[in-house]
């Protein structure tokens, strides 16, 4: 199986030993506490899950600046975005060497992790703006990632962490949330050697289904990991439970048995386009996947990124040999009226726009809310039925 990123073995930061876990939980109740941001909580879940291997905790301000500017830490580890614990108020932890991190997303703010505090540093507005510009390629506050990054505070609390739970993800998505450790184990149990990963924050329409099949065929892969984001999205995106149900129905009906794993991970969407695509590749390597699909406007939002910037970054900015996982570069896929099947648009140069069955997101939402079936060339009817029920519920 492909090695994790940055080490020979995966090193998740979750405390699996029950005795150590109980002892740390008891200690945490007596420690100075910080209710972290949702972004920092997501980072803790990803660190605990092994997705952010080989990191051992939250980055310092210096590392965050280096990663933003040059995509590597002060010690030289290639990494695309800062993994940080940033807050606006450190009064309760000012002189603490060890603190309890409390979950902002659950009632009562239970302890999520324990952190050894190596430094508490205050960033300037200029530093925050410079980091945002590098990470998101904009400082526009209308960009959802920029808005979040610049709103959580200026104090960087750095240091290693030990994770005690996976926030709401394990209880809200018991059949879907999986750690990198669990995915690697299941890949091994299934006897898969070559695995294609597909990232999604949306339901999968027919074009996505066929894209997974195209990539699996091209890579001669044993299976596909459909890996969905389960954390916070921007307003208007479809909730994770609806996406989960739609994707599972599509896999059940339209994929051969034992060719797909449907799983999810606990993280808030960054909408960082190219930088986030690289992060996605790193943590898919940590799950044991050998190939990763990067499509048009991957992890993008609005018009902030070029259509294929998320593919170009792997050629132009990722150091050669830094990643073992291979990138499958995809174009837009759509049903061709001429050919009677789904194709990548780049593979049909003789086609005009009207030769493809395409619908805008707005048109899809309008049709489903009105109870109008989507064209079968665009969406499988079983998937459309689940989405229709959701959109019609919003109208009531």
| Domains in the chain: boundaries | 18-170, 175-395
- List, in order, residues 6 or more apart from 344 with CB less than 8 Å away: 211, 214, 330, 331, 332, 333
Mean pLDDT of 136-155: 97
pLDDT of residue 361: 84
* Cα–Cα dist 55/270, whole Å: 19
Mean pLDDT of 58-78: 97
Mean pLDDT of 287-291: 98
Q: How many CB atoms lie within 10 A of CB 54?
A: 16
pLDDT of residue 238: 87
386-395, pLDDT tens digit by residue? 999 999 998 7
* Cα–Cα dist 97/22, whole Å: 20
Mean pLDDT of 253-272: 96
Q: Which of 11, 109, 202, 332 is catalytic?
A: 202
| pLDDT reading at 316 higher than 90 | yes
* Cα–Cα dist 106/102, whole Å: 9
pLDDT of residue 234: 73
pLDDT of residue 233: 74
Q: Which of 98, 154, 190, 201 is catalytic?
A: 201
Label residue 331 exposed, middle or buried (CB < 10 Å: 0-12, 13-18, 19+). Answer: middle
* Cα–Cα dist 121/64, whole Å: 11
Mean pLDDT of 181-188: 98
pLDDT of residue 7: 97
218-255, pLDDT tens digit by residue? 999 999 999 999 987 777 788 888 999 999 999 999 99
- List, in order, residues 6 or more apart from 384 with CB less than 8 Å away: 368, 373, 374
Between 32-36, 335-339, 357-361, the lowest mean confidence (pLDDT) is in 357-361
- List, in order, residues 6 or more apart from 168 with CB less than 8 Å away: 103, 105, 106
* Cα–Cα dist 83/48, whole Å: 13
CATH code at 175-395: 3.40.50.620
> What rounded mean pLDDT belongs to the chain?
96
Mean pLDDT of 56-61: 98
* Cα–Cα dist 365/370, whole Å: 9
94-136, pLDDT tens digit by residue? 999 999 999 999 999 999 999 999 999 999 999 999 999 999 9
Strands in the chain per DSSP E: 33-35, 57-58, 86-87, 98-102, 111-116, 119-122, 155-163, 195-200, 223-229, 260-265, 291-294, 326-329, 333-336, 341-344, 356-357
Percent of the chain with pLDDT strictly greater than 90:
95
Tokens of 358: 């395409």
| pLDDT reading at 310 higher than 90 | yes
pLDDT of residue 295: 94
Percent of the chain with pLDDT strictly greater than 70:
100
pLDDT of residue 362: 87
* Cα–Cα dist 99/115, whole Å: 5
* Cα–Cα dist 128/373, whole Å: 46
**Which DSSP letter does residue 54 get?**
T
Query: What architecture (CATH level 2) is domain 18-170?
Result: Roll (3.10)
Packing angle of the helix pair 274-287, 309-316 (nearest 10 deg): 70
Catalytic residue check, 201: yes
The number of residues making up the chain comes to 396
- List, in order, residues 6 or more apart from 105 with CB less than 8 Å away: 38, 41, 167, 168
**Interior CA angle at 325 toward 226 and 293, to 5°?**
40
**Interior CA angle at 206 toward 205 and 208, to 5°?**
70
Mean pLDDT of 155-184: 96
Catalytic residue check, 341: no
Q: How many CB atoms lie within 10 A of CB 130?
A: 16
Q: Are 43 and 52 in contact (CB under 8 A)?
A: yes
């Amino acid at each position: 199986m492909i090695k994790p990123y940055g080490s020979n073995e995966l090193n998740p930061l979750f405390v699996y030993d029950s005795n150590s876990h109980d002892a740390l939980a008891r200690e945490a109740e007596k420690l100075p506490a910080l209710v972290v941001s949702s972004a920092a909580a997501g980072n803790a879940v990803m660190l605990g899950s092994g997705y952010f291997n080989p990191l051992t905790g939250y980055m310092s301000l210096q590392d965050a600046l280096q990663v933003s500017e040059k995509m590597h830490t002060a010690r030289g580890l290639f990494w695309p975005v800062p993994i940080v614990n940033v807050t606006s108020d450190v009064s309760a932890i000012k002189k603490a060497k060890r603190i309890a991190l409390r979950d902002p997303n659950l009632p009562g703010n239970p302890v999520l992790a324990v952190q050894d505090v190596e430094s508490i540093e205050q960033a300037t507005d200029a530093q925050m703006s410079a980091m945002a510009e590098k990470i998101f390629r904009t400082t526009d506050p209308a960009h959802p990632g920029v808005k979040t990054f610049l709103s959580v505070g200026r104090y960087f609390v750095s240091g290693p962490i030990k994770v005690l739970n996976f926030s709401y993800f394990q209880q809200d998505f018991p059949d879907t949330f999986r750690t990198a450790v669990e995915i690697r184990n299941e890949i091994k149990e299934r006897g898969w050697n070559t695995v294609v990963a597909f990232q999604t924050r949306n339901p999968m329409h027919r074009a996505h289904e066929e894209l997974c099949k195209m990539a699996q065929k091209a890579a001669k892969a044993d299976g596909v990991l459909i890996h969905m984001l389960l954390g916070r999205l921007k307003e208007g995106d479809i909730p994770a439970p609806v996406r989960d149900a739609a994707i599972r129905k599509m896999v059940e009906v339209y994929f051969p048995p034992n060719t797909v794993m449907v799983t999810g991970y606990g993280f808030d969407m960054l909408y960082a386009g190219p930088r986030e695509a690289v992060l996605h590749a790193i943590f898919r390597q940590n799950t044991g996947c050998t190939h990763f699909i990067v499509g048009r406007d991957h992890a993008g939002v609005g018009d902030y990124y070029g259509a294929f910037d998320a593919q170009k970054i792997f050629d132009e900015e990722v150091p050669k040999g830094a990643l073992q996982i291979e990138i499958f570069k995809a174009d837009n896929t759509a049903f061709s009226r001429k050919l009677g099947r789904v194709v990548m648009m780049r593979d049909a140069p003789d086609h005009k726009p009207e030769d493809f069955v395409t619908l805008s997101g707005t048109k899809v939402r309008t049709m489903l809310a009105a109870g109008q079936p989507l064209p079968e060339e665009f969406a499988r009817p079983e998937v459309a039925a689940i989405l229709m029920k959701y959109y019609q519920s919003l109208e009531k």
